[in-house]
């Protein structure tokens, strides 16, 4: 009986540890760091984007209908992201070669990262384990310039998601305007006379 109780305690602790390993990070926590190959084979590290907003989106599979719509919408809005000092990084379990083919076919110019070992999707609590098949869940993490999670979206709608991320980015990155104190007068244009 004592041995059975000990086995139950050990198994329960292992299950708890496993669940903790796949917990999704939440707003306010540091974003898990990573380095993954992109579609051109170059190694992309989250740390290299320090000082920028990062839209880190996970998607199930290259060249599938929902994933293509989502990627097209991010591409469509890319200039708006760049104007807000933001980069887009897509992550799936597909290979870099698969990403290259997808980018070429669909005209995608932002980075798609190959998480073939499933480590990054797992670190972000975004890995679906379907027996032998492991794919990323459709989740997005907005990471602030200091490297912290600013907002999380789960099970997103690929057709409207980019618009939602842009709206959040706009509200989060807006700096409050400080009113000029009354005792300070604005500089006078030398070509104008004061009245």
- Catalytic residue of the set 46, 54, 56, 67: 67
Q: Tell me, letter by letter, the H, E, C secondary structure of the chain.
A: CHHHHHHHHHHHHHHHHHHHHCCCCCCCCECCCCEEEECCCCEEEHHHHCCCEEEEEECCCCCCHHHHHHHHHHHHCHHHHHHCCEEEEEEECCCHHHHHHHHHHHCCCCEEEECCCCHHHHHCCCEEEECCEEEECCCEEEECCCCEEEEEECCCCCCCHHHHHHHHHHHHHCCCCCCCCCCCCCCCCCCCCCC
103 in active site: no
Tell me which residues are annotated as active site: 67
């Amino acid at each position: 009986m004592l041995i059975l109780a000990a086995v139950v305690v050990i198994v329960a602790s292992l299950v708890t540890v496993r669940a903790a390993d796949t917990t999704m990070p939440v707003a306010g926590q540091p974003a898990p760091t990573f380095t993954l190959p992109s579609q051109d084979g170059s190694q992309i590290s989250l740390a290299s984007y320090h000082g920028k907003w990062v839209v880190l989106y996970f998607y199930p599979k290259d060249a599938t209908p929902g994933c293509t719509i989502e990627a097209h919408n991010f591409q469509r809005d890319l200039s708006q992201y760049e104007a807000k000092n933001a980069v887009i990084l897509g992550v799936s379990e597909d290979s870099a070669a698969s990403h290259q083919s997808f980018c070429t076919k669909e005209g995608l110019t932002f980075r798609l990262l190959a998480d073939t070992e499933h480590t990054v999707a797992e670190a972000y609590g975004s890995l679906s384990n379907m027996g032998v098949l492991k794919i990323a869940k459709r989740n997005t993490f907005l990471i602030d310039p200091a490297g912290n999670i600013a907002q999380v979206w789960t099970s997103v709608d690929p057709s409207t998601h980019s618009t939602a991320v842009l709206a959040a980015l706009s509200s989060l990155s807006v700096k409050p305007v400080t009113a000029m104190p009354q005792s300070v007068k604005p500089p006078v244009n030398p070509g104008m006379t004061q009245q």
